[in-house]
A = this chain, B = another copy of it.
Amino acid sequence: MSSQVLSAQLSTEPGLEAWIRFLRAHAAITRELSARLEAQHGLTLSDYDVLVQLYYAPGRRMRRVDIARTVLLTASGVTRLLDGLERCGLVCKERCDSDARVTYAALTKTGVARFEAAQETHHADIEELFGSNFSRAERESLRELLGRLPLQTTSPACETEEGQ
């Protein structure tokens, strides 16, 4: 019934329809994904998102600004999120010798373990809720299409050496 309502009026523009479905799907899937992650590992989706970045970063640590940029949170969001992860002992702060302003967030041993455990089930959940709806070719296609969407909308974009 709701999908009927949804498609009834807005079907004039496939772009619009696509956007609405994008929005709805995001709400539904992230809610479920977050719930499972929370239940099984005590992590939120954002927590996980940060942990992945750290896990694969050189030295398993990153500057907070860079975390913010890749995870698309604001600086303050990152601070608070990392506060939580620190309290749980999953990350710790590290000072930067060359620049006293920056504090690295580094994955602890516990953090690594916890992430690796979470990764297992989380990938399976993503596959179930998201990936399994598509064939291999469709996944590729989706990946490519979604990759075109803008990630930096309002930012000044005055980076020294960017897209390397």
Residues of A in contact with B (beta carbons under 8 Å apart): 1-6, 8-10, 13-19, 21-32, 35, 45, 49, 52-53, 56-57, 66, 69-70, 72-73, 123-134, 136, 138-143, 145-154, 159, 162-164
Contacts and interface: CB of A to CB of B under 8 A. Distances in A.
B3 A151 contact: yes
Given A22-B130, A128-B162, 19 more contacts: A4-B163, A6-B70, A10-B56, A14-B139, A14-B142, A14-B143, A16-B126, A18-B130, A18-B131, A18-B142, A19-B126, A22-B146, A24-B72, A29-B149, A128-B159, A129-B153, A130-B149, A132-B162, A133-B148
A147 B24 CA distance: 9
Contacts of A22: 22, 26, 130, 146
B28 A152 contact: yes
Given A5-B57, A66-B1, A162-B128, A153 B32 contact: yes
Contacts of A66: 1-2
Contact of A129 (B14, B123, B150): B150
A21 B150 contact: no
Contacts of A123: 13, 16
A150 B18 contact: no
Contacts of A53: 5
B72 A127 contact: no
A18 to B, nearest CB: 4
A23 B153 CA distance: 15
Contacts of A143: 14-15, 17-18, 21
